Amino acid sequence: MLACLCTVLWHLPAVPALNRTGDPGPGPSIQKTYDLTRYLEHQLRSLAGTYLNYLGPPFNEPDFNPPRLGAETLPRATVNLEVWRSLNDKLRLTQNYEAYSHLLCHLRGLNRQAAAAELRRSLAHFCTSLQGLLGSIAGVMAALGYPLPQPLPGTEPTWAPGPAHSDFLQKMDDFWLLKELQTWLWRSAKDFNRLKKKMQPPAAAVTLHLGTHGF
């Protein structure tokens, strides 16, 4: 009973009955996506620490900030604040979806290269989680009535080992992939938090129907 009550309180913002009309709307999906983003942020912190230690110095040094040389193909998470504020919901979600599609593809390539079995397991687990995030974003977009972005012909994100890449530059790319992923997850948390607030109904109209949880 107590555990159930705690669960309810924890997910109170995501309780579908909080909607005025009784239709849960995109609110719960956004909350779940937000929660998943925060979970992935936490997961990535551990994974990146391990992976960068494998790469060795200078990649595992805290103040290492190399130029973004070979990472042009990675979607940039950094954006001007005004531009970010002015994004509409559709564009915001579309950018997130596209970014994680690309990042997931690169991450799978990273997994293929990893020599250590333990690292491969961690990467595979993270890829699964990231795939889940992608599905969650798609769910939010669907709930809001936005179509999923269609990849342009020939621009399907694929990963292929770059023969021209030296090992050092490859390590640099790996570094940037993890860094961009971290920034994207941070940005997504902001995005979904903003969306979540936006989708919340006015407080006066909130009615809590606990009956849906069996009370």
Partner 1 sequence: MAPMAVFQTSFLLALLPLSAHQSEVSSEPLSLNVSISSAQQRLHLKWSVHNLTHPELKMAFQIEISRINKSNVIWVENYSTTVQQNQTLHWTWESELPLECATHFVRIWGKEDDAWAPHQRVWSSWSSWVKVDAQSLLGQGPPLVFPIDKLVEEGSNVTVCYVSRHSQSNVSCLLHGQRIPREQLDTHVSVFTLTNVSFISTWGSNFYCENDPDIIAGAEPGTVLFVSKVLEEPKGFSCETRDFRTLNCTWDPRSDTDLPKYRSQRYALFESFSGKTKSCEQKNWCTWQVAQDSQMYNFTLIAENYFRKRSVNLLFNLAHRVHPMTPFNVLFESVSTANATMTWKVHSLGNFSTFLCQVELHGEGRAIQHNASSQVDGQYFFSGLAPATEYAARVRCAAKHFWKWSEWAGQNFSTLQAAPSKAPDVWRSVRSTLGSCNVTLFWKPLSKSQAHGEVLFYNVATEFLGRPSSSKLFSIPAPATGTELSLDGCSHKIRVTASNSAGTSPASVMAIRDPGNQTAEVKEERIQGTEDGVSMSWKPPPGDVIGYVVDWCDGPQESSCDLQWENLGPNATSTIISSDAFRPGVRYNFRIYGISPESTAYLLERKTGYSQELAPANNPRVNISNLTQHSFTLSWEDYATDSQPGFIQGYRIYLRSKAEQCPPEFTKADLPDNSEGCKHDIDNPEQKTFVVENLQPESFYEFLVTPRTRAGEGPAHPFGKVTTREQHAHALIRTILPMVFLLLLLTVLCYVKSQWMKETCYPDIPDPYKSSVLSLLKPKENAHLTIMSAHDCIPDKLEVVNKPEGIKAQFPGARKSLAETDRTKHDYIYLLPTEKSSVGPGPGICFENLTYNQAAPDAGFCGPVPAPHTAPPGMGGLLTAPGNLLRSLEPSYMNSSGETPAGETTLNYVSQVASPTSGHKDSPPTNSLELAPRSEYRMQMAIPPGLASPSPNENSSLSSMSFLGPGEHRG
28 lies in the binding site for partner 1 (CB under 8 A)? no
- For position 171 contacting partner 1 by CB under 8 A, the verdict is yes
Indicate the helix (H) or strand (E) that contains 133. helix 117-144
Alpha carbons 121 and 144: distance in angstroms, whole number: 35
d(CA 26, CA 44): 26
Residue 169 lies near partner 1 (rule: CB under 8 A): yes
Residues 6+ positions from 175 with CB-CB distance below 8 Å: 52, 55, 59, 64, 66
| 3-state secondary structure string across 169-183 | HHHHHHHHHHHHHHH
For position 27 contacting partner 1 by CB under 8 A, the verdict is no
Site size for partner 1, by CB under 8 A? 22
x-marked contacts with partner 1 along 47-86 as a string, rule CB under 8 A:
-------xxxxxx-x----xx-xx----------------
Q: 131, 104 in Cβ contact below 8 A?
A: yes
Q: Which is nearer to partner 1, 135 or 162 (CB)?
A: 162
Residue 23 contacts partner 1 per CB under 8 A: no
x/- mask, partner 1, residues 81-120, rule CB under 8 A, reads: ----------------------------------x-----
CB of 166 to partner 1, least distance (A): 5
State which H helix or E strand residue 126 sits in.
helix 117-144
Judged by CB under 8 A, does residue 125 bind partner 1? no
CB of 165 to partner 1, least distance (A): 6
Dihedral angle of Cα 186, 81, 101, 49, to the nearest 10 degrees: -30
**Residue 82 vs 167, nearer CB to partner 1:** 167
Nearer Cβ to partner 1 (56/135): 56
